[in-house]
Copies of this chain bind each other. A is one copy, B any other.
Amino acid sequence: MEMPNAVAALSALAHPGRLEVFRLLVRAGAEGVAAGEIARATGSLPNTLSTNLGILAAAGLVAARREGRSIIYTAGYDRMRELLAFLVEDCCGGRPEICAPLAAVASAGCDAEARSC
């Protein structure tokens, strides 16, 4: 991940409403949540929520798919992982005892090996 993308992702999350939405979607998992339901759960106006979802989507932190009249949003786990990895990159210059738990997230995708970690 490059600096501008990281800043965009962090800026997207640096907002109470958007952070709440993102965490809701992280908890929701792969099925996702409809925009209207997010609005109800967070108590935000539809237009404001739509703007914020657009910002999250532009940063790659959420993805949208249409289902009938609803638009379902899901968390972008891959982008999230990239962001966390970017934040702790080259941590501690060779002193893993400080940030091993941070670096763990920087490792490759969620495969069977990682699951036992």
Contact = CB atoms under 8 A, between A and B. Distances in A.
A27 interface: yes
Given A16-B3, A77-B98, A81-B102, A87 B29 contact: no
Given A101-B81, A117-B104, A3 B20 contact: yes
Given A7-B15, A26-B87, A80-B102, A117 B117 contact: yes
Nearest to A30: B98
| Copies held by the complex | 2
A50 to B, nearest CB: 21
A88 B14 CA distance: 15
Contact of A14 (B10, B84, B93): B10
A69 interface: no
A102 to B, nearest CB: 6
B26 A91 contact: yes
B19 A14 contact: no
